[in-house]
Amino acid sequence: MPTRIHRIDSPALLLPVDDIDTDQIIPARFLKTTSRRGLGEHLGEAYQVADDIQDAPAAAELLGKPTGRDRALGRPSAVAELGLAGAVARVKTLVAGAVAAVPDCSGSGALRSLILMESRRILPGQVARLAA
């Protein structure tokens, strides 16, 4: 479950449209009602921790972008709390939890693959290897 730190730190995504066709984001075949819980919580926290990792000074050269903004602004960070290796391990654990939370149903294999593919985008291999 996301920590209080990450719930507060996560900004809303504002889109310049009045009506969003959710099929553009997640195809309807993946929107099945299930009794399982945790997919959203796992993914949300994984994105936040990955963002914290990408803001770590060690990632600056690999990502080609300025880092250290969280520290400069005094924001809480999973990297500051867990260390780089601990934060990378946390993302991997959260992604595994998200995959496990997908119920067996039509399209579940595709959704699990999508989650894994997205995890490689938010935590590129070269960044994950910094923690090794």
pLDDT 10s digits, 48-76? 999 888 888 766 666 666 777 778 888 88
Structure tokens at 24: 């553009």
Q: What are phi and psi of 54, to 5 degrees?
A: -70, -20
* Residue 39 C-alpha from the chain's centroid: 11
Encoded amino acid at 13, one letter: L
Where do the H-state alpha helices sit in 2-124?
4-9, 39-54, 60-63, 69-72, 78-101, 108-122
Compute CA distances 19 → 16, 23, 24, whole Å: 9, 12, 12
pLDDT at residue 111 greater than cutoff 90:
yes
Nearest Cα neighbor of 1 from 111, 78, 117, 97 is 97
Instruction: Provide the pLDDT for residue 30.
Output: 56
User: What are the tens digits of pLDDT across the range 81-106?
Assistant: 998 889 989 999 999 999 999 988 88
pLDDT at 129: 76
Q: What is the dihedral of CA 91, 92, 94, 99, to 10 degrees?
A: 140
3-state secondary structure of 130: helix
DSSP conformation class of 106: T
What token pair was written down for 38? 């945790």
Residue-wise pLDDT tens digits, 28-46: 655 554 445 688 899 999 9
Contact 50, 123 (CB under 8 A): yes
Decide if pLDDT at 9 tops 70: no
